[in-house]
Structure 1
């Protein structure tokens, strides 16, 4: 049942991968695009004219025409002729001024009318105090200073109503500032120098940048019209090398649709492109009917300003909310170039087991968007990584197929045996399969250990890897800083042994009770006596302010991590076979070649089966170098926060 279900799932995913294959229209390695709102008329018949102006402007810039005549600047000329700019506009003629005066209210007449109204109100009032209050107001209104102030207020109000339209006058204030600066390059007049200094002020330039950003979005919202019966919008893009566009497209029948907006790109920052938007034109070139590879190649060839004509997505956008970044540790290796299901291979993010990933978007449950820890500066766009549930399903399918294959081999192997033996063998094999323990990601958080509660350090490694020697060296050099947990045992004490110092001597019944209660990290039996290291013994060392050193078997790591001790696990890996032989020879040991091979093979098994539990790895090439590296890692726990499972901090 599981196999058939997963096969159906994979077939469906494969069909989706073929029919909805995405292509990044702009990757970090390509020319990048910065989305801006267009500054053009909302009437579609003017689009061609607008694009022609852009083309002419690029040709003029390419010829190096930096000195701009005021009359040659179409926008400056229009703004200078716009009566909305100011009341002192030189284009006002006498007739216009007369009309304006005729339409404008007379401040003095308004005050006289208000005085007459107050006199009438005063006669209607019978309360002496109210009459005195009205008289005081009338005296204020009759003063010449108040009349002048009211006249100025009225003039300013009218001017503000003219220069504050409901929509922005321009979304290219930065370009206007640059044009004015070019005009003033040769000016030596005092006013020109002052204006140039003002326009080059960083604060004013930042203000113009913010103005264009806000005005651009408002203009874009108004830039909606009808195109072939569809509501469309026009978006302007500027190709740059520093900010990738961060969007993928897919084919949907004859349409080219924005499939994904990637975090960190210009599209996501601007908010002007959305998933589901259909691209109709790019710089007047029709996109409908083109393959996504053609769209990619087309954008590769285009430079400078791009104009996208889009049909907005009909999908209802969810309410905007700030997504919380989830930090996870990966427990598998991933290479997008080997993954046939990744929707966009160019945006796939490769990582190795143990890497920390910052997941910034889980909008697509199958494909998360993430950064590798430490690569945020070198990784402008978030990468695509398999979602947790999707990866678990794939790993389950792999185990199912592998186990089915092994089961077939077992059937062939035992084919000549009797039915009872075959059934017993296959049954035993099936019980060994465990589909519930599929490791993909674990949520992590940063943790800084308190100065008075040091994390226990567990040294893991195969026999003869040197981890025992490193622990003894630490204990001998700084016994006041490092200590070992006092073990428990059921044997009787010897003459020189003291309870609580060498061992905790307990009865077998008490030992077995604590063992059943999960109080032992590690336990075993030797010569009919039980031995074990308890969590209470480790906690006693921690409470004393020292660092507890542990040398454990890998099977004890699950118990140690499930406790609240927050261990720091360091794997001591052996060097090559020849180097290991040399190191053991200095200790007077003469291992056989098969013994050396067994040490290295055991280390590989440990890394494969338990490497996701290791916080650090030291290859013991040289005892002194390994010791100094071990000290560095332990000292770093006091100075730098470390990634630990979030469940430890709950």
Structure 2
């Protein structure tokens, strides 16, 4: 089942229609020519043309509505038999008067007539089942609840048919005002003088300004029976339009309004709006690629003729920016599912992304940290749930493939094994196990509570040497956590200074309670570093330094210690050989290769835990870089998981 879903996704993504299912109409870097916008009068002429067509259509519909068969209604049949107001009156006024005089506004009278018609129909029917159906309808109509509901429906329908003006009646109120003032100059009546004072106030001038703009430019009108609107946007090279379009049959719809563009800043374009014309060029029937090429050539004022979206828009709310750290690499050019490749935002594992819109749960809009000034438009990145879903599909498909290979292996192993089903290798994945994004917040460490520094790296990468050098140079600033052990103390050792000496049962109790960041066994004795020991160093005002194993990272990061983890990566194999030779070590080629491969494995599996990476090309440079990173914690706020600050 999952295989079929994934195949469907791939087929959809590979089709030509899908490859451009959504197209950015104006992106940074597009080569734009200059096409001057036509004058506003041209648009008004087209709107008047549309209004004339609509008027003709309404007249035709009106004539059709009055061509009524008198035998189609009991009332009209009775009206036709009335010599006083005949339905055959040739004049339109007569028909209209007959309709008004005959059709009652009383819902009770309508109900009585309907019941009489049903009785007559029942009498004419010979089929027993049909007679029973009519009887059921008559019983329903006779119920008091139904009558009350019909009365309410009639009252609401009458209210909805009342015409309420939605636009100004004129844009020349000021001219009419001056004309009336001339007439009132010689008037001595009290009412005339009061009217003259009222007409001297500036409200009518303001009315003309607003009415003129609404009636001449952005007035809602009709386009072959559809409500349309005119929208003007200014397209500049430094501010892209910021919208994508898609095809829906012959229509071209606004598919997405991108944050940071002129469309989003103006608030005049909405998702779902149908584009009829752009600067007088008809858009209906065009492919999104044609619309893209057309807008690429245009510059300056763009005038859109639109049919507003019929979708119910949610109440506007302030968008909250969410800051996340990415835990996977993303390249939109390799993603067949991205709706608009031009707007896809590439990023690498560890990048901080500022998510400014999650309106589309599948495709968020975001900026990379530090690129806001150079990135005028927000980019599209996969939403968290969408990314988790497709990673789950990939893992399930991989496991199904392995299971299939396992079955083939069992079949070749023996015929007897063929009858038995091998144990399945697949499992149900928890979405939380799939790393996508983690919400982050800025944190500035207090002067008296330094963040512990965790150094991690493969053997011979130099992380332990860097820790020892920091401790020897500035012992008043750096310290290590005193570990716990179950072995007996030696003569020169003091409890709490070199080690915390504890019994085996006490150690096991603390281990079960999760009090150790890391622990292990050496020569039948147990050793461990507790969170309390690290916290003791922090409370003293010093920086706690730890060299960690990868299996300790999860516990260390899940504590409330707010650690800063630095990965010390080895250099190339030849450079590593030179550095180790300077220390008097002569590793074998396979040992050097193992160090490099171990470092890659650590970075691949645990890189999302690293706050910084230092490639140890030169011990002196690596030491200064380590000091710089540690000192930066005092001067600059750092991104930490939001959960740490809750």
Q: Which of the five TM-score ranges fits, normalised by the shorter chain?
A: 0.7 to 0.9
Alignment match, 1:101: 185
Alignment match, 2:292: 296
Whether 1:556 and 2:598 are equivalent positions in the alignment is: no
Q: Secondary structure at the match of 2:556?
A: helix
Alignment match, 1:27: 27
Mapping of residues 131-530 of structure 1, within 5 Å: 158-165=200-207, 167-168=209-210, 223-417=219-413, 427=423, 429-430=425-426, 437-530=433-526
Tell me the TM-score normalised to structure 1 length: 0.74
Instruction: Show CA shifts across 1:525-555 (max 9, x none).
Output: 1111111111111111111111110100111
Deviation at 1:398, TM superposition (A): 1.1
Contact 1:23–1:344 at 8 Å: present in 2 too? yes
Taking a change above 3 Å as real, the CA distance of residues 96 and 109 of structure 1, as seen in their structure-2 partners, is closer
Provide the rounded CA distance (Å) in 2 between the counterparts of 1:622 and 1:572: 12
Taking a change above 3 Å as real, the CA distance of residues 428 and 233 of structure 1, as seen in their structure-2 partners, is closer
Q: Secondary structure at the match of 2:207?
A: coil
Q: Secondary structure at the match of 1:524?
A: strand
Contact 2:31–2:297 at 8 Å: present in 1 too? no
Alignment match, 1:179: none
Contact 1:43–1:225 at 8 Å: present in 2 too? no
Q: Secondary structure at the match of 1:323?
A: coil
Provide the rounded CA distance (Å) in 1 between the counterparts of 2:621 and 2:568: 12
Contact 2:174–2:208 at 8 Å: present in 1 too? no
Contact 2:10–2:336 at 8 Å: present in 1 too? no
Contact 1:456–1:549 at 8 Å: present in 2 too? yes
Instruction: Show CA shifts across 1:244-301 (max 9, x none).
Output: 1110000000000000000111101101000000011112211111101011111122
Task: Give the one of 603, 609, 616 matched to 1:607.
Answer: 603
Mapping of residues 68-107 of structure 1, within 5 Å: 84=174, 98-99=182-183, 101-102=185-186
RMSD of aligned alpha carbons = 3.4
Provide the rounded CA distance (Å) in 1 between the counterparts of 2:534 and 2:216: 64
Instruction: Show CA shifts across 1:612-648 (max 9, x none).
Output: 1100000001111111110010011111111111111
Contact 1:330–1:441 at 8 Å: present in 2 too? yes
Provide the rounded CA distance (Å) in 2 between the counterparts of 1:492 and 1:105: 116
Taking a change above 3 Å as real, the CA distance of residues 381 and 102 of structure 1, as seen in their structure-2 partners, is farther
Taking a change above 3 Å as real, the CA distance of residues 169 and 464 of structure 1, as seen in their structure-2 partners, is same
Alignment match, 1:532: 528
Contact 1:456–1:548 at 8 Å: present in 2 too? yes
Task: Give the one of 614, 625, 640 matched to 1:644.
Answer: 640
Taking a change above 3 Å as real, the CA distance of residues 166 and 541 of structure 1, as seen in their structure-2 partners, is farther
Taking a change above 3 Å as real, the CA distance of residues 590 and 428 of structure 1, as seen in their structure-2 partners, is farther
Instruction: Show CA shifts across 1:156-202 (max 9, x none).
Output: 9823234332653777xxxxxxxxxxxxxxxxxxxxxxxxxxxxxxx
Taking a change above 3 Å as real, the CA distance of residues 540 and 161 of structure 1, as seen in their structure-2 partners, is same
Taking a change above 3 Å as real, the CA distance of residues 29 and 293 of structure 1, as seen in their structure-2 partners, is same
Taking a change above 3 Å as real, the CA distance of residues 513 and 566 of structure 1, as seen in their structure-2 partners, is same
Task: Give the one of 578, 587, 590 matched to 1:594.
Answer: 590
Q: Secondary structure at the match of 1:390?
A: helix
Provide the rounded CA distance (Å) in 1 between the counterparts of 2:188 and 2:537: 87
Q: Secondary structure at the match of 1:377?
A: coil
Instruction: Show CA shifts across 1:443-494 (max 9, x none).
Output: 1111111111111000010000000000001000111111000001100001
Deviation at 1:336, TM superposition (A): 0.4
Provide the rounded CA distance (Å) in 2 between the counterparts of 1:641 and 1:345: 34
Provide the rounded CA distance (Å) in 1 between the counterparts of 2:557 and 2:187: 82
Alignment match, 2:616: 620
Provide the rounded CA distance (Å) in 1 between the counterparts of 2:309 and 2:38: 19
Provide the rounded CA distance (Å) in 1 between the counterparts of 2:466 and 2:290: 61
Tell me the TM-score normalised to structure 2 length: 0.74
Provide the rounded CA distance (Å) in 2 between the counterparts of 1:21 and 1:104: 72
Q: Secondary structure at the match of 2:405?
A: helix
Q: Secondary structure at the match of 1:159?
A: coil
Provide the rounded CA distance (Å) in 1 between the counterparts of 2:191 and 2:473: 93
Taking a change above 3 Å as real, the CA distance of residues 13 and 362 of structure 1, as seen in their structure-2 partners, is farther
Deviation at 1:239, TM superposition (A): 2.5
Q: Secondary structure at the match of 2:388?
A: helix
Alignment match, 1:45: 45
Taking a change above 3 Å as real, the CA distance of residues 475 and 560 of structure 1, as seen in their structure-2 partners, is same
Deviation at 1:306, TM superposition (A): 2.3
Task: Give the one of 565, 573, 577 matched to 1:581.
Answer: 577
Provide the rounded CA distance (Å) in 2 between the counterparts of 1:378 and 1:23: 22
Provide the rounded CA distance (Å) in 2 between the counterparts of 1:104 and 1:268: 57
Contact 1:38–1:219 at 8 Å: present in 2 too? no
Taking a change above 3 Å as real, the CA distance of residues 432 and 293 of structure 1, as seen in their structure-2 partners, is closer
Structure 2: stretches of 5+ with no match in the other structure: 50-171
Q: Secondary structure at the match of 2:597?
A: helix
Deviation at 1:86, TM superposition (A): 14
Taking a change above 3 Å as real, the CA distance of residues 522 and 32 of structure 1, as seen in their structure-2 partners, is farther
Deviation at 1:18, TM superposition (A): 1.9
Alignment match, 2:64: none
Deviation at 1:421, TM superposition (A): 8.0
Provide the rounded CA distance (Å) in 1 between the counterparts of 2:429 and 2:174: 79
